[in-house]
Amino acid sequence: MAYANEKLGYERPWGFALVAILGCVALVLVDLLTKQIDSSLFRESGGLELATALLYGYTAIIWLWTRSGDEWRVHWQVPAVMLLMMGREFDLDKKLTSIGFLQSKLYFSAEAPMMERILGLVVIAVTITVVVRLLRYNARIFIEALRYRTLWAWGVVAAVALGIVSKSLDGIDRKLAPLGISIDPALAAKAALAEEFLELLIPLLLLAATLSSFILRRLSRPAAQRTIQ
Protein backbone atom coordinates (compact mmCIF):
# COMPACT_ATOMS: atom_id res chain seq x y z
CA MET A 1 0.00 0.00 0.00
CA ALA A 2 1.42 3.40 -0.95
CA TYR A 3 1.74 6.26 1.48
CA ALA A 4 -1.57 7.98 2.05
CA ASN A 5 -0.14 11.44 1.47
CA GLU A 6 1.45 11.46 -1.98
CA LYS A 7 0.77 15.20 -2.19
CA LEU A 8 -0.56 16.67 1.07
CA GLY A 9 2.24 16.82 3.62
CA TYR A 10 4.63 14.87 1.42
CA GLU A 11 6.37 17.90 -0.03
CA ARG A 12 6.58 19.86 3.23
CA PRO A 13 6.00 17.46 6.13
CA TRP A 14 7.22 19.99 8.70
CA GLY A 15 4.10 21.98 7.86
CA PHE A 16 2.28 19.57 10.17
CA ALA A 17 4.47 20.80 13.05
CA LEU A 18 3.67 24.42 12.20
CA VAL A 19 -0.06 23.65 12.33
CA ALA A 20 0.40 22.01 15.74
CA ILE A 21 2.35 24.96 17.18
CA LEU A 22 -0.13 27.52 15.88
CA GLY A 23 -3.00 25.46 17.25
CA CYS A 24 -1.37 25.35 20.70
CA VAL A 25 -0.76 29.09 20.69
CA ALA A 26 -4.37 29.73 19.67
CA LEU A 27 -5.79 27.52 22.44
CA VAL A 28 -3.62 29.12 25.11
CA LEU A 29 -4.41 32.66 23.92
CA VAL A 30 -8.15 31.99 23.87
CA ASP A 31 -7.91 30.57 27.36
CA LEU A 32 -5.93 33.55 28.64
CA LEU A 33 -8.34 36.03 27.05
CA THR A 34 -11.43 34.37 28.49
CA LYS A 35 -10.16 33.45 31.97
CA GLN A 36 -8.08 35.12 34.65
CA ILE A 37 -4.39 34.50 34.02
CA ASP A 38 -3.72 33.26 37.55
CA SER A 39 -6.21 30.39 37.15
CA SER A 40 -6.26 29.87 33.40
CA LEU A 41 -2.97 28.04 32.93
CA PHE A 42 -3.35 25.83 36.00
CA ARG A 43 -6.97 24.78 35.89
CA GLU A 44 -8.22 21.39 34.70
CA SER A 45 -9.12 21.39 31.01
CA GLY A 46 -7.36 24.73 30.60
CA GLY A 47 -5.69 25.84 27.41
CA LEU A 48 -2.34 24.19 28.15
CA GLU A 49 -3.82 20.89 29.24
CA LEU A 50 -6.26 20.81 26.33
CA ALA A 51 -3.47 21.61 23.86
CA THR A 52 -1.32 18.84 25.33
CA ALA A 53 -4.08 16.25 25.07
CA LEU A 54 -5.04 17.22 21.53
CA LEU A 55 -1.39 17.14 20.45
CA TYR A 56 -1.18 13.47 21.40
CA GLY A 57 -4.19 12.72 19.20
CA TYR A 58 -2.79 14.88 16.42
CA THR A 59 0.55 13.04 16.56
CA ALA A 60 -1.24 9.69 16.31
CA ILE A 61 -3.09 10.91 13.22
CA ILE A 62 0.13 12.20 11.62
CA TRP A 63 1.84 8.86 12.30
CA LEU A 64 -1.00 7.02 10.53
CA TRP A 65 -1.06 9.59 7.73
CA THR A 66 2.63 9.18 6.96
CA ARG A 67 2.80 5.39 7.19
CA SER A 68 1.65 2.61 4.90
CA GLY A 69 -1.12 0.16 5.64
CA ASP A 70 1.43 -2.61 6.14
CA GLU A 71 3.09 -0.59 8.88
CA TRP A 72 -0.27 0.02 10.51
CA ARG A 73 -0.77 -3.72 10.93
CA VAL A 74 2.66 -4.26 12.52
CA HIS A 75 3.27 -1.03 14.42
CA TRP A 76 -0.23 0.14 15.41
CA GLN A 77 0.98 0.16 19.03
CA VAL A 78 2.96 3.35 18.34
CA PRO A 79 -0.08 5.60 17.68
CA ALA A 80 -1.92 3.63 20.37
CA VAL A 81 0.57 5.02 22.91
CA MET A 82 -0.33 8.54 21.79
CA LEU A 83 -4.03 7.85 22.18
CA LEU A 84 -3.53 6.35 25.63
CA MET A 85 -1.54 9.44 26.63
CA MET A 86 -4.32 11.65 25.29
CA GLY A 87 -6.83 9.77 27.41
CA ARG A 88 -4.57 10.18 30.42
CA GLU A 89 -4.34 13.95 29.84
CA PHE A 90 -8.15 14.12 29.73
CA ASP A 91 -8.19 12.12 33.01
CA LEU A 92 -10.39 9.49 31.40
CA ASP A 93 -8.97 6.91 33.81
CA LYS A 94 -10.83 8.79 36.55
CA LYS A 95 -13.80 10.23 34.65
CA LEU A 96 -15.02 6.97 33.11
CA THR A 97 -15.19 5.18 36.45
CA SER A 98 -16.21 6.12 39.96
CA ILE A 99 -12.85 5.06 41.41
CA GLY A 100 -10.20 5.08 38.67
CA PHE A 101 -8.56 2.45 36.49
CA LEU A 102 -5.33 2.50 38.51
CA GLN A 103 -6.99 2.01 41.90
CA SER A 104 -6.84 -1.58 43.15
CA LYS A 105 -10.15 -1.26 44.98
CA LEU A 106 -11.86 -0.90 41.60
CA TYR A 107 -11.17 -4.59 41.06
CA PHE A 108 -10.95 -6.03 44.58
CA SER A 109 -13.90 -4.36 46.31
CA ALA A 110 -17.63 -4.12 45.80
CA GLU A 111 -17.58 -0.31 45.60
CA ALA A 112 -17.55 -0.14 41.79
CA PRO A 113 -20.20 -1.53 39.40
CA MET A 114 -19.30 -4.63 37.42
CA MET A 115 -19.26 -2.74 34.09
CA GLU A 116 -16.63 -0.37 35.46
CA ARG A 117 -14.47 -3.33 36.47
CA ILE A 118 -14.81 -4.86 33.03
CA LEU A 119 -13.93 -1.54 31.39
CA GLY A 120 -10.90 -1.20 33.63
CA LEU A 121 -9.72 -4.72 32.79
CA VAL A 122 -10.13 -4.03 29.07
CA VAL A 123 -8.03 -0.85 29.34
CA ILE A 124 -5.35 -2.68 31.33
CA ALA A 125 -5.33 -5.53 28.78
CA VAL A 126 -4.94 -3.05 25.92
CA THR A 127 -2.14 -1.23 27.74
CA ILE A 128 -0.26 -4.47 28.42
CA THR A 129 -0.70 -5.52 24.78
CA VAL A 130 0.70 -2.19 23.60
CA VAL A 131 3.73 -2.48 25.91
CA VAL A 132 4.45 -6.06 24.85
CA ARG A 133 4.21 -5.18 21.17
CA LEU A 134 6.49 -2.17 21.65
CA LEU A 135 9.11 -4.42 23.20
CA ARG A 136 8.67 -7.09 20.55
CA TYR A 137 8.49 -5.00 17.37
CA ASN A 138 9.98 -1.60 18.20
CA ALA A 139 12.61 -2.00 20.91
CA ARG A 140 15.36 -3.31 18.61
CA ILE A 141 14.66 -0.63 15.99
CA PHE A 142 14.74 2.04 18.70
CA ILE A 143 18.04 0.82 20.19
CA GLU A 144 19.69 0.68 16.78
CA ALA A 145 18.45 4.20 16.03
CA LEU A 146 20.00 5.40 19.29
CA ARG A 147 23.31 3.81 18.36
CA TYR A 148 23.30 5.64 15.03
CA ARG A 149 22.29 8.88 16.79
CA THR A 150 19.10 9.15 14.80
CA LEU A 151 17.19 12.34 15.50
CA TRP A 152 13.78 10.73 16.02
CA ALA A 153 15.12 8.23 18.57
CA TRP A 154 16.78 10.90 20.69
CA GLY A 155 13.61 12.97 20.38
CA VAL A 156 11.76 10.11 22.06
CA VAL A 157 14.45 9.96 24.78
CA ALA A 158 14.05 13.69 25.37
CA ALA A 159 10.26 13.28 25.61
CA VAL A 160 10.64 10.52 28.21
CA ALA A 161 13.12 12.63 30.18
CA LEU A 162 10.72 15.59 30.17
CA GLY A 163 7.97 13.27 31.35
CA ILE A 164 10.07 12.23 34.34
CA VAL A 165 10.97 15.82 35.19
CA SER A 166 7.40 17.07 34.84
CA LYS A 167 6.12 14.23 37.03
CA SER A 168 8.63 15.18 39.72
CA LEU A 169 7.32 18.77 39.65
CA ASP A 170 3.70 17.68 39.96
CA GLY A 171 2.58 18.68 43.45
CA ILE A 172 6.16 19.17 44.61
CA ASP A 173 5.02 21.00 47.76
CA ARG A 174 2.79 18.03 48.67
CA LYS A 175 5.60 15.54 48.00
CA LEU A 176 8.14 17.39 50.11
CA ALA A 177 5.81 18.07 53.04
CA PRO A 178 6.28 14.60 54.65
CA LEU A 179 10.04 15.26 54.64
CA GLY A 180 9.54 18.42 56.64
CA ILE A 181 10.38 20.66 53.69
CA SER A 182 8.01 23.53 53.05
CA ILE A 183 7.84 25.22 49.66
CA ASP A 184 6.92 28.87 49.23
CA PRO A 185 3.48 29.09 47.54
CA ALA A 186 4.87 31.34 44.82
CA LEU A 187 7.62 28.82 44.05
CA ALA A 188 5.09 25.98 44.05
CA ALA A 189 2.97 27.94 41.57
CA LYS A 190 5.97 28.43 39.31
CA ALA A 191 6.75 24.72 39.52
CA ALA A 192 3.16 23.91 38.55
CA LEU A 193 3.38 26.25 35.57
CA ALA A 194 6.72 24.72 34.52
CA GLU A 195 5.13 21.27 34.77
CA GLU A 196 2.31 22.26 32.41
CA PHE A 197 4.73 23.65 29.83
CA LEU A 198 6.99 20.61 30.06
CA GLU A 199 3.99 18.35 29.54
CA LEU A 200 3.12 20.37 26.44
CA LEU A 201 6.63 19.85 25.07
CA ILE A 202 6.35 16.06 25.33
CA PRO A 203 3.82 15.54 22.49
CA LEU A 204 5.59 18.25 20.47
CA LEU A 205 8.81 16.23 20.72
CA LEU A 206 6.96 13.05 19.77
CA LEU A 207 5.44 14.85 16.78
CA ALA A 208 8.92 16.03 15.76
CA ALA A 209 10.19 12.45 16.11
CA THR A 210 7.33 11.17 13.96
CA LEU A 211 8.04 13.70 11.22
CA SER A 212 11.80 13.19 11.46
CA SER A 213 11.36 9.45 11.03
CA PHE A 214 9.14 10.03 8.00
CA ILE A 215 11.64 12.40 6.40
CA LEU A 216 14.48 9.94 7.03
CA ARG A 217 12.50 7.23 5.25
CA ARG A 218 11.90 9.55 2.29
CA LEU A 219 15.60 10.34 2.03
CA SER A 220 16.64 6.69 2.29
CA ARG A 221 14.24 5.44 -0.40
CA PRO A 222 15.94 7.15 -3.39
CA ALA A 223 19.35 6.08 -2.09
CA ALA A 224 18.18 2.47 -1.90
CA GLN A 225 16.74 2.69 -5.40
CA ARG A 226 20.06 4.03 -6.74
CA THR A 227 21.91 1.17 -5.02
CA ILE A 228 19.64 -1.39 -6.70
CA GLN A 229 20.11 0.22 -10.08
**pTM for this model (two decimals):** 0.86
pLDDT in tens, 144-179: 999 999 999 999 999 999 999 998 988 888 888 888
pLDDT at 202: 96
pLDDT at 10: 52
Confidence category of residue 219, pLDDT binned at 50, 70, 90: confident
pLDDT at 40: 55
pLDDT at 41: 62
Q: 3: closest CA among 65, 45, 94, 56?
A: 65
pLDDT in tens, 170-188: 888 888 888 888 888 888 8
